[in-house]
Amino acid sequence: MTALPLTSLGTILMVLLTFYFSIRVGRMRGKVLAPATSGDPEFEKAFRIHYNTIEQLILFLPMLWLSVGYFGDTVGGALALVWLIGRLMYMSTYQKDPTKRTPGVLLTLAPLAVATVGAIIPLVQMVF
């Protein structure tokens, strides 16, 4: 059993959300035959939601796990939760109107920024 249950749970939920987005892309593919990624606007939005989430996940996960040593498990779990809420907001708004995606983007970037600071501070403290 991990000593970081909240951060671990958040990580599992982030991966599951990303997997859910990949299933949505597959279901919405319709007449857009692989390997094409354009042709149907609804599919293209689902594809961008999924791809952007992967882009954010690959940035956020290392920073989250590096920062949890500084912040602790409760903050790590909270950062993961905020990231998840941001991604769900992003999906909801982007699918309806991509121009209104900004709140979800910001709610995704905020925990990334906090986690990055939390990952850098211990390194700076060790050097100085």
**pLDDT digit string, tens, across residues 12-51:** 999 999 999 999 999 999 889 999 999 999 999 999 999 9
Return the domain boundaries, the chain: 5-127
Q: pLDDT of 68-104, one tens digit each?
A: 999 999 999 999 999 999 999 999 999 999 999 999 9
Nearest partner of 62 among 49, 47, 79, 50, judged by Cα: 79
Could you tell me which CATH number the domain at 5-127 has? 1.20.120.550
